[in-house]
Each structure stands twice: as structure tokens, then as C-alpha cells.
Chain A
């Protein structure tokens, strides 16, 4: 397909791990991004991974990249109520600055 695809909803308990999955489209993307959007706010850059990496860890965040399947995931360890937000994966389009976004996964963290 031509769209960046994400599941729309994820609900976890506080302290559990959250895994948000994404399927992207352009194998020539140099970087792949995760953004976080809290209610009423803009997009906050959360993390990104270079396309020649399989994994990147940044504190509680782990990004996994499977280039063969064009699959990207974001794992949040020890999820907190403050992590409740919408998470977008995004891929830049080749040779321009049009960023293509998934529909966003709404993460709800229950106490």
C-alpha cells in the first residue's frame, strides 16, 4: 500500500510495557521518526532511527526496525500515565521534505 499504517488504539496498565507498531512504505527513507502529540499540542519529536540500524535505545524508549518487512516499532518501558498521548510514526519522502505520517496510535495508560 501507499500509506504509513498504525493501529489506532492501545491501552496498557501503568508500569507495563507498551509496543506501538508501524508499517511504512518507502525503503529509501534515510531516517524514520516517532512523534508524540499530547492533547491540544503540536508534535513533539520523540526519537528517530537511522535506516542502517536495527535497534535504538533511548532511556525508556526502544525503537526496532525491520527493513525487510518495512516494519517499525516503538517500545515504551515502565509506561506512565504521562505517556498517554497519540504517537505517530513518520517517514520523510525521498528527495523532498514532505513527511508522511501514520494515522497515529492513541495510547491510554490506566493507573
Chain B
């Protein structure tokens, strides 16, 4: 089975722009979770999508949003980028049951200038 894939792998944007990141889960997995990883804050949960619905949400501003498609692929959008949004964005997929094992993609490294 192919693993979790994320595109693009690297991205450079300037402040005020918006960005869309994509995540394709493992085949058969219906849950996609997004995390932000920074040196200062570590790994922080953004949100989780299951069956095209946001099921859980972390403590991030509304500039961070996402969606999930019927094939379980997910996108994450960040609007009005700030310097502090520079991070590695990781998505993880799972079958979707509570406390299910999560498998991570390679991440998208976003640099905001």
C-alpha cells in the first residue's frame, strides 16, 4: 500500500498571501489529521477530517481551514500568511476510529518571507 503523500514538499510564500496544501491518505483510511510543527511549539494539532466533515479542531485561528473530499483526500488552507506560519505541516491518516494509529506523510515545509 502506498503511504501518505503530501504536496508540495516545499513552498515559499510572502506575508499576506494564502496557501493550499494537499494530503492523500493511505488507501482505505477515512480520517485525515493535520499538524503544525515548529521548533518553538513542537507538534500541534490543527484539525481532523472524517467523511468530509471536520470532526475535531485544535486551537488555531480561523485563517487555518481545511476540507476533505469524497475520496478522503484533504486540503489545508492558510490565508493572510504571517511569518509565524513558517513550519512543517504534517498530515496523518487513520481508519478513523477513536485513538486509532496515525500514519504520517513526509510533510510540507512552508517558509513565509
Apart from the given pairs A42-B104, A44-B104, 7 other A-B contacts in the complex at a CB distance below 8 Å: A43-B90, A45-B101, A45-B104, A92-B100, A95-B98, A96-B48, A97-B100
- The answer to whether A35 touches B33 (Cβ under 8 A) is no
Smallest CB-CB separation from B103: which chain A residue? A45
Q: Shortest Cβ distance from A65 into chain B, in angstroms?
A: 15
Q: In the complex, which residues of chain A have a beta carbon less than 8 angstroms from the beta carbon of B4?
A: 42
Secondary structure class of chain B's binding surface, majority of residues: strand
Q: Which of A86-108 contact B (CB under 8 A)?
A: 88, 92-104
Contacts of B6 in A (CB 8 A): 42
Question: Number of residue pairs across A and B with beta carbons under 8 Å?
Answer: 68
Number of interface residues of B (CB under 8 A): 28
A33 touches B43 (CB 8 A): no
Number of residues from A at the complex interface, CB < 8 A: 26
Q: A41-B106, A41-B107, A42-B90 are in contact. Are A98 and B58 (CB under 8 A)?
A: yes
Q: Closest CB-CB distance, B86 to chain A, in whole Å? A: 15
Q: Does B99 contact A (CB under 8 A)?
A: yes
B56 contacts the other chain (CB 8 A): yes
Q: Which residues of A contact B55 (CB under 8 A)?
A: 96-97
Q: How far is the CB of B3 from chain A (nearest CB, A)?
A: 9
State whether the Cβ of A31 lies closer than 8 Å to any Cβ in chain B.
Answer: yes
* Complex interface: chain A residues within 8 A of B61 (CB): none
- Taken together as a complex, chains A and B put the C-alpha atoms of A101 and B41 apart, in Å, by 11
Q: Which of A30, A44, A98, A104 contacts B33 (CB 8 A)?
A: A98
Do the beta carbons of A42 and B106 come within 8 Å of each other?
yes
Q: Are A88 and B33 in contact (CB under 8 A)?
A: no
Chain B residues with CB under 8 A of A40: 109
Q: Which of B50, B90, B92, B101 is within 8 Å of A48, CB to CB? A: B101
Cβ of B102 under 8 Å from chain A: yes
User: Could you tell me the distance in whole angstroms from the C-beta of A8 to the nearest C-beta in chain B?
Assistant: 11
- 23 residue pairs of the A-B complex, CB under 8 angstroms, read A29-B99, A31-B99, A35-B104, A41-B106, A43-B90, A43-B92, A48-B101, A92-B100, A93-B99, A97-B33, A97-B48, A97-B100, A97-B102, A98-B33, A98-B45, A98-B56, A98-B58, A99-B33, A99-B35, A99-B92, A100-B45, A101-B43, A102-B42
